[in-house]
Structure 1
Amino acid sequence: MLHLLGTGGWMPSGQRETSCFMIRRGTTVLILDAGTGIRRLATQPSLLEGVERIDIALSHFHLDHLVGLSYLDAIGTGIEKVVWGPGRAAYGVSTIDILNRILAPPFSSAARQELFTAVKDIDMAGEQIGPHPVTVRVQDRHTHPSVSFRYADLVAYCTDTAFDADNGGLARGVRLLLHEAWLTGPTGSASHSTASEAARVALMAEAQALILVHLDPRAEHDLLLAESRSLFTATDLGRDGLAIPLGAS
């Protein structure tokens, strides 16, 4: 099951928390990005009933994608929590060194060791994040590098990137593509994609469906949806709280 915990970008709004997506597989959970949406695991503890391990994979280190790490002390007491990041691959610095800077005093009241069990760098050449079947690629079309993810043949997640045709290859044949749609119009910026560009990636990937995520709270979301559907009809807007059966998960 895929749970959309946070489908907004930059800052939370009354409708959307910032980026956080949960894939549950038996007693294990994979979280893609730790934005403010991760707080739903504390306010809706039934989401983690029976879970023994949580792996949290960060696409990059901007605050709207990792501030939720500071909430982990309130989530799933007794559950193993492992954080994975693209520090070495994208920045040449280990993920643990980056997080130690962000979560050190006086920025955090809790020591890193109180929040999660371990921190690991993503193996870009591998096909696993913990027990999960995940492949990753570096995106160099954002203000700072980010990474995109593919979970088996079920889900691909591409956020915080300008239009990147290579993500069509990463997402080839997936059931569902989660792609950022920060801007309207035909062409995005040097660091963010439009809804039309998200649709182009979905078409190149031959994905079955597209959900627009990392939505700017100031944007005209109906226009984003219309622009994407004009190219790729099987598009929907990301909605916090939506649960999507994945069949094999």
Structure 2
Amino acid sequence: MQPKIIHCADGFWNIRGSFKLGGILELGTHCSLVRLGDGRFVMLDSYTIPRELLAELDEITGGRDNVVAVINLHPFHTLHSEAMHRDFPNARHFGTSRHIRKYPDLGWEKTTTEDLVTGTEFAEDLDFSLPAGVELVPANENIHCGSILAYHQASKTIHVDDTFNLRGAKKGKPGKLSVHLTLGAALEDRPGAASDFRDWGASITERWSGAQRICVAHAGVMTAEKLGEPSVNVAMKAALQAAEKKLRKHEAKHG
């Protein structure tokens, strides 16, 4: 996959990059550039951005010093952390607890990305959400359902890594938005976890009902048209409804 910058809407750019599973299967990955209301910029997630795309970003931002923060949202998307610290040395770098544990010598903010979910920093521009009822950093590192989602209110754009993905996409046929296939294993081993996840889904589809696109790490920039649905909100609700079988199975075991 050739890395590229997609101008999604006024104030939001999604950078598509290459990620090959086992060095063979192309899954793709991403990060996003967001313009804040005060004219400064933040990056959502990390990627080793090629030099020519960095030059494009410099034109958009007016210089890398105007990128004031890099906010990493998925605890298992860590491959590009060092590159982002190198390429944005004057930005504040926010990582999940796992980012900080994995690369303790990098200059991380003391405030973790998890803290931004309940904090007020960036709240005028970005709404962060952590799925309830699932483990963000499970012991099994193959379980990637948990991540922190971000909604840029001005551009009506959702940025998500693995919590939502795409299934059934074929040439000439839109795929369906879906909750990550590891949801069943990601749910916390306790009563009420499935209910908490269900309530979380209802909450974000209400809060983010006006979303016009969803940028998905391993799928691309999805609009209602690309998803074959009346709206992104309908697509999200359908994905959450399709996850009910796993939620009910968890409830049957744990309550």
Higher-Rg member (1/2): 2
Contact 1:82–1:119 (CA<8 Å) still a contact in 2? no
**Higher RCO (CA 8 Å, separation ≥ 6 residues):** 1
Distance in 1 of aligned mates of 2:160 and 2:215: 10
* Equivalent position of 2:230 in the other structure: 232
Residue 10 and residue 31 in structure 1: after superposition, are their counterparts in 2 closer, same or farther (change >3 A)? farther
Contact 2:71–2:94 (CA<8 Å) still a contact in 1? yes
* Equivalent position of 1:120 in the other structure: 111
Residue 206 and residue 190 in structure 1: after superposition, are their counterparts in 2 closer, same or farther (change >3 A)? same
* Equivalent position of 1:72 in the other structure: 84
Contact 2:15–2:32 (CA<8 Å) still a contact in 1? yes
Contact 1:48–1:76 (CA<8 Å) still a contact in 2? no
* Equivalent position of 2:72 in the other structure: 58
Distance in 1 of aligned mates of 2:157 and 2:219: 22
Amino acid at match of 1:135: D
The yes-or-no answer on 1:102 pairing with 2:94 is: no
What's the % identity of the aligned pairs? 12
Question: Which of 22, 46, 53 is equivalent to 2:33?
Answer: 22
Shift of 1:5: 1.1
Distance in 2 of aligned mates of 1:16 and 1:160: 12
Please give the TM-score of this superposition, normalised by the length of structure 1: 0.53
Contact 1:8–1:213 (CA<8 Å) still a contact in 2? no
Gaps of 5+ in 2: 1-10, 137-142, 169-174, 185-201, 234-255
Please give the TM-score of this superposition, normalised by the length of structure 2: 0.52
Shift of 1:38: 7.8
Distance in 1 of aligned mates of 2:14 and 2:52: 10
Distance in 2 of aligned mates of 1:6 and 1:29: 18
Distance in 1 of aligned mates of 2:215 and 2:72: 19
Larger helix fraction of residues = 2
Shift of 1:21: 0.5
Shift of 1:148: 1.2
Residue 41 and residue 76 in structure 1: after superposition, are their counterparts in 2 closer, same or farther (change >3 A)? farther
Amino acid at match of 1:159: D
The yes-or-no answer on 1:136 pairing with 2:137 is: no
* Equivalent position of 2:213 in the other structure: 210
Residue 147 and residue 60 in structure 1: after superposition, are their counterparts in 2 closer, same or farther (change >3 A)? same
* Equivalent position of 1:81 in the other structure: 91
Distance in 2 of aligned mates of 1:128 and 1:134: 9
Q: SS in structure 1 opposite 2:92?
A: strand
Gaps of 5+ in 1: 88-97, 105-110, 162-179, 193-199, 236-249
Shift of 1:23: 0.5
The yes-or-no answer on 1:158 pairing with 2:160 is: yes
Shift of 1:33: 1.0
Quote the RMSD (CA, aligned, Å).
4.5
Shift of 1:17: 5.4
